[in-house]
Structure 1
Amino acid sequence: MKCSFEIVVLLLFFLSTTSVNGEIPPKIFDVTMYGAVANGEIDNAQVFLKAWTDACNYVGRSRIWIPKGTYLLGSVSFIGPCKGSIIFVIKGILKAPTDPSTFFTDTWIGFRYLDDLVVKGGGVLNGQGSSAWKYNDCQRNPQCKNLPVTMRFDFVKNSRIQSLKSINSKNSHFNLFACYNMNISHVKLTAPADSPNTDGIHIGTSSKIKILHANISTGDDCISMVAGSQNIEISDVSCGPGHGISIGSLGRSLAQQHVKGINVRNCTFTNTDNGVRIKTWSPSLYSVASDMTFENIIMNNVRNPVVIDQQYCPAGGCPVESESSVQINDVTFSNIRGTSSTKVVVNLLCSRILPCKNVKLIDINLAYLGPGGPATSMCSHVIGSSHGKQIPGGCL
């Protein structure tokens, strides 16, 4: 079998870095050498796992190599801990199964219990979600089964995901749980606007996460952060269509799993249902969401540009007289400008029993050009202040 030019270059590079002072040299694990078939029809899950097992047991630096081509891949989880660092390079197209008997699991491609992992390569993750979306009936069926997340990271730390494209996920594209110090950059995540629960990036119980230079078009939140999300930095993200960038929903479970230190900057929203949003259940368990900044945001025809919703009940009206017990503190909305597709461009609906505290509106310039204008702002149970330009006039 002839080696591709890319493999030859890698081999030459690795040979040039062979052991100095006894250091073990890096090693390539090419899945095609294990029998992977790039015809889009044969399931390569077991082959990929064999390559992973050898790479994970190698005490030096490992590089798993998936060359160009189309590889059918069933549900698979790559589990550590491993003996050395691993770079997982996807050059080809990975296709998820379309057989309904394979759908009902929470993971398509999983990485678990790993340190110093890189997933990159410019390849494509094709979830083939149109074959499964009709099975997403959880809002009306309490016995509904999970659909698989395209790529799930559980208990992963000090790692990077970059230069990947994910299309038509059956559920969320990327899911992070119990992760620490992870960077996601230069990714493109797409699914139709009417595809159910296809969040771009979903984060929970994780800290020190950066999401940079991403383009997300999907049928749910472009980025969602739930209980336990702390020290999250989001910058240079283009969102739309989708439901915006959301903190929450919070308060239904995981009491005392606080949210803190969320910074969303230099992002653009186009034709989304929401822009920047904090949402909590009513009623809810007690928790705290604090130290959140949304800054330098452009809205292009966004339905609800700036939202705090502490009566979030998507399946129907909240119980009468119920209130959220999530305390929201120290929130700044700064330099948010553009256009709204609805009249109420700033809508801050906080809890009557635990009002939002120290909320700041700074330099807001949002226009509504539809009937019944001009734009308005609404605030309820909010303690805060307005500064700088306020178009429309601030409600604080």
Structure 2
Amino acid sequence: MVFYCLLPLWLILPATVLAGMTKTGTLCTVTPSGSKDDSPSIMDAFKQCGQNGQIDITSGDYTIAKVMDVLTLKNCDISIRGKLTWNDDIQYWLRNSVGVTYASRSTAFRLGGENFTLKGHGEALFFGNGQKWYDQNRDQSNQNGRPISLTLWKAKNVWIDGITWRQPQFWHTFVAHSQNITMTNLDMNATSNSRWGTVNTDGFDSWNSKDIVIKNWVVTCGDDCISIKGNSSNIHVRNVTCYESGAMCIGSMGNPTNVPEYVDDVLFEDITAIHSSNAAWIKTYPGQGHVRNITFRNIRFQDVNQPIYVSPCIYSYSNCDGSRLKISDVTWENISGTSRYNVAAGIYCSKGAPCTGLKFKNIDIKPKNGGTAKILCSNMNSDSGLACTGTCPAGWKQQLSGNA
């Protein structure tokens, strides 16, 4: 007598189906597996369709429990319509997040290569379980291993569009060693629901990158909204609304102080800042290099601590005149709104490298509680068009706690 054993269908399906990924031609389709980790399925899709292919991460809930690091993308279109949740195994991420060189930072998700798109269609959601990170950090500084949500690394000709972030672990996005990057229609929010702050949850940071367009963003974060760091050039930021942030910033840069850093040709325009620390500002360490040809245009704000601010000695507020990092040819035009206290601008330039070519046009800043705004200036060109009301002391702080 012969016995036949009929196996359940799921036992004889290809492994790629069980893992939540199927490949048809050059299209890899990822679906939620219902497991504790969907990152293997997504990484399999990157491996099989990341060159001259398409990747479709469909609607549904995905759990990401491992680092995703892909630097070989080429001629690839990535579509995400699901919710990606990075799990809260903090010790795993502290041990395994991928280093990105800058200031000992690291990342949970890194993409590199050339000629690729990452589109969220207004449906993709990146959820970082950030509250766990904010609570364990307890308002301390930048914890090594605390991962950036998304990093572009050695990427060229990339378009990112239509993604929402909620509760990221650390910075939302970082672009490094990259060129020709366009990032549009992004929605970011890092908000703590406990006594502990989010601490350094920047919206965007660039470093060693050029030819970047940022357009149509809404960002709520605990630190810089858009930050242009060292060796970045030709960057256009337009139509961004920032809440509870540092808004538009050049820097920080110039650290380590013996390595020259440069930022050239940056335009911020049509920006709104609400209840932020600053609006349009430049921060450097007392280092070497230059900041040149920067424009802040059409910047509107409400209840901003110190709207216009320039410092050559950020954070330590010492050795300010030792800086050789020259700031020149910077324009602030159509800058209007209310300051939290009575200082509209605090500008201190290094005596060792005084600011030149600063220009101010149509500046209208009023203290929200009435009175006359102070404009404090030191070691800058006298033909700037800014009606300075007094000198700015060396080491002038970024955050004010009351009227000057």
- TM-score w.r.t. length of structure 2: 0.82
User: Do the aligned partners of 1:162 and 1:185 also contact (CA within 8 Å) in 2?
Assistant: yes
- SS of the residue 1:347 aligns to: strand
Cα distance in structure 2, aligned partners of 1:228 and 1:67: 37
SS of match in other structure, 1:42? coil
Q: CA deviation at 1:391?
A: 8.0
One-letter code aligned to 2:358: V
Report the identity percentage.
24
**Which segments of 5 or more consecutive residues in structure 2 lack a partner in the other structure?**
1-8, 10-23, 98-105, 393-404
Match of 1:328 in 2: 327
1:10-61, Cα deviation, whole Å (9 max, x unpaired) = xxxxxxxxxxxxxxx98321012xxx41x4x52111111111111025xx4x
What is the RMSD computed on CA atoms of the aligned residues? 2.4
Say whether residues 1:49 and 2:51 are aligned partners.
Answer: no
- d(CA) in 1 for partners of 2:236, 2:288: 25
User: What does residue range 353-368 of structure 1 map to in structure 2 within 5 Å?
Assistant: 353-368=352-367
Partner of 1:99: 89
The alpha-carbon deviation at position 177 of structure 1 amounts to 0.4
Distance 1:26 1:329 in 2: 54
d(CA) in 2 for partners of 1:162 and 1:109?
16
User: Secondary structure of 2:357's partner?
Assistant: strand
User: 1:136 deviation in Å?
Assistant: 3.8
> What does 1:226-375 correspond to in 2, within 5 Å?
226-253=229-256, 255-281=259-285, 284-313=286-315, 316-319=316-319, 323-370=322-369, 373-375=371-373
Any conservation in 1 of the 2:357–2:384 contact (CA below 8 Å)? no
What are the superposed Cα offsets for residues 357-389 of structure 1, whole Å, 9 maximum, x if unpaired?
Answer: 110111101111326x311101010115344xx
- Report the counterpart of residue 165 of structure 1 in structure 2: 164
Alignment match, 1:65: 56
Structure 1 residue 393 displacement after superposition: 6.6
Equivalent pairs, count: 353
Q: Which residue matches 2:155? A: 156
CA contact (8 A) 1:289 1:326 kept: yes
How does the TM-score come out when normalised to structure 1?
A: 0.83
2:129 corresponds to:
128
1:80-109 deviation per Cα after TM superposition (whole angstroms, max 9, x unaligned): 434x41111110100001012222122222
Partner of 2:190: 191
CA contact (8 A) 2:376 2:388 kept: no
Question: 5 Å matches for 1:11-30?
Answer: 27-30=26-29
Native 8 Å contact 1:375 1:392 kept in 2: no
> Hey, what's the Cα distance between the residues in 1 that align with 2:382 and 2:317?
27
| CA deviation map 1:99-153 (0-9, x unaligned) | 12222122222102x1011111220000111111244479679xx4220111111
Question: 1:322 Cα deviation (Å)?
Answer: 5.3
- Report the residue type matching 1:124 in the other structure: L
* Closer/same/farther in 2, CA of residues 347 and 357 from structure 1, 3 Å limit: same
